[in-house]
Structure 1
């Protein structure tokens, strides 16, 4: 089992924040492609481009992998394909900020299950309150949430929790970013049936291809690389609550790029999730100072072999 990176947990915190900044802006760019390519077509192109870029950079050598390593990479790829596809299908129907807030139920539940201290559970509760406020805003605001969009984002939430677990597993079993690269390859293969029409459309329009490439970099290459590195430095429960910053950045991206208003309730939710993130970050620093566990693999993680 690979040891956690020997660096300050603050590096892990910075990596998670970088991911939270990159993902929603990538999603906002992707939303502009939905009318032409459809959400699943955009998902396929994004994952395929990201896979090609990472394979070219990382040059993985999966021939030498064990059965455990291959299974982890395949399950990681399944979670990537489903999480991204259902998320894009959701934001084609509901605003970006509420969508990310609802999707965060996946990692929030995971963080609550993994927490071992009252303080961690308290901060999960604060973040959950922020999600509830965002949900209320979506229900009583000027733009009601589409029921099918909510169903899609709840499915994405479940696969997001699976992604976090499998990302930790891949980080433990496969050195560097090779596991991420091959996970994206698996996801790209799974999405081929919905990607062929989109690829033929993009091939005839360089501008669409450029937007798809920007989406791939902002929504896959940067955030997944950052999150894989962060999971080697932070406990999974801390990683999950830190991701509570993402609805705040999603609301900002929706406002700046898609013209989706930031209502007072959404601003209140942003304050709550930032408070939860700050509280969790201080808890990581305190654990490190007191000599407590600071890595994600200090206890066995019950995942399939």
Structure 2
């Protein structure tokens, strides 16, 4: 009978992580439905404002003890988080969700690769480059992507890398309360952009249910589930499974947004996922940081 509890201890965190990834990408699909009303800029603002209110109540960040050094780290972490969300949503205006997530994944992948010096990591670099070459727009074929959208997604990846690096430092000081502080700072950082772009449209009460849904699906629910999953599985296992995020994004795009990818684009996503999984498996214990953060 000992096998059943052992099996349950494996399936439970795995299920939580799968639900978290599905939640994040469902939230991204829902967020895209707000674009016609308030644009990507306004949608980012609504998500971060509502998410910060939710986390303010749940995590009570006022209990954090901040020094001048830790405050500076948290501010950079929050700005990186805000930039990541903003640039990611900007990319969704012109490229499919699955491709945007795959391109964004180059950020945490770069962090994992730069933190290691093993010869096998060259293989993961090659796989990632192959994936990018297959995705980067070429010519005027039907499968080519909008250059601006690609640039936004890669910019979101760069912010994701900063989010990881400074999130580690900030988290070491104040633990999970760092997440709430980061989201609040991100909201303060992005809100002026959303206000300038969308103006009074952000005050439309009819948008509240969708905006609240985005905040819950993309931030509050997956963050909570990931925290529980992380305490019940090895970091490398978590990172390897998290590398499947682009697949969840692609299927979410197909299901909710009717975005269908070409065979070449699926191959590109597969190459980037393989690079992410490989980098995670060969990373040192303290560097398995491919954690979903959209």
Please state which band the TM-score falls in when normalised by the shorter chain: 0.7 to 0.9
With over 3 angstroms needed to count, the CA separation of the structure-2 counterparts of 1:242 and 1:172, relative to structure 1, is farther
CA separation in 2, counterparts of 1:124 and 1:16?
A: 26
Aligned to 1:115: 116
Aligned to 2:285: 294
1:226 shift after superposition: 5.5
With over 3 angstroms needed to count, the CA separation of the structure-2 counterparts of 1:66 and 1:164, relative to structure 1, is same
Within 5 Å, give how 1:184-203 maps onto structure 2.
184-196=183-195, 198=198, 200-203=200-203
Aligned to 1:205: 205
1:248 aligns with 2:247: yes
Aligned to 1:287: none
Aligned to 2:36: 35
Partners of 1:242 and 1:280 within 8 A in 2: no
Partners of 1:44 and 1:191 within 8 A in 2: yes
CA separation in 1, counterparts of 2:38 and 2:218?
A: 17
CA separation in 2, counterparts of 1:139 and 1:244?
A: 29
1:158 shift after superposition: 1.3
With over 3 angstroms needed to count, the CA separation of the structure-2 counterparts of 1:272 and 1:152, relative to structure 1, is closer
Partners of 1:102 and 1:135 within 8 A in 2: no
Aligned to 1:300: none
Post-superposition CA distance 1:176-228 (Å, at most 9, x none) = x211001111111112213447584354333x211111111222223445667
Stretch deviating more after TM superposition (8-17 or 215-224): 8-17
With over 3 angstroms needed to count, the CA separation of the structure-2 counterparts of 1:63 and 1:181, relative to structure 1, is closer
Structure 2: give runs of 5+ residues left out of the alignment: 1-8, 289-294
Within 5 Å, give how 1:159-198 maps onto structure 2.
159-175=159-175, 177-196=176-195, 198=198
With over 3 angstroms needed to count, the CA separation of the structure-2 counterparts of 1:142 and 1:149, relative to structure 1, is same
Post-superposition CA distance 1:55-95 (Å, at most 9, x none) = 10111235632223222221111001111111111111222
CA separation in 2, counterparts of 1:67 and 1:11?
A: 40
CA separation in 2, counterparts of 1:164 and 1:10?
A: 27
With over 3 angstroms needed to count, the CA separation of the structure-2 counterparts of 1:205 and 1:19, relative to structure 1, is same
CA separation in 2, counterparts of 1:243 and 1:62?
A: 30
With over 3 angstroms needed to count, the CA separation of the structure-2 counterparts of 1:15 and 1:145, relative to structure 1, is same
Structure 1: give runs of 5+ residues left out of the alignment: 1-7, 285-292, 298-305
Within 5 Å, give how 1:133-282 maps onto structure 2.
133-135=134-136, 141-175=141-175, 177-196=176-195, 198=198, 200-206=200-206, 208-225=207-224, 234=235, 239=239, 243-276=242-275, 279=278
CA separation in 2, counterparts of 1:146 and 1:282?
A: 33
CA separation in 2, counterparts of 1:111 and 1:63?
A: 29
Post-superposition CA distance 1:26-58 (Å, at most 9, x none) = 211111110111101000110111110011011
Partners of 2:143 and 2:262 within 8 A in 1: no
With over 3 angstroms needed to count, the CA separation of the structure-2 counterparts of 1:9 and 1:110, relative to structure 1, is farther
CA separation in 1, counterparts of 2:247 and 2:212?
A: 24
CA separation in 2, counterparts of 1:180 and 1:100?
A: 21
TM-score under structure 1 length normalisation: 0.75
TM-score under structure 2 length normalisation: 0.78
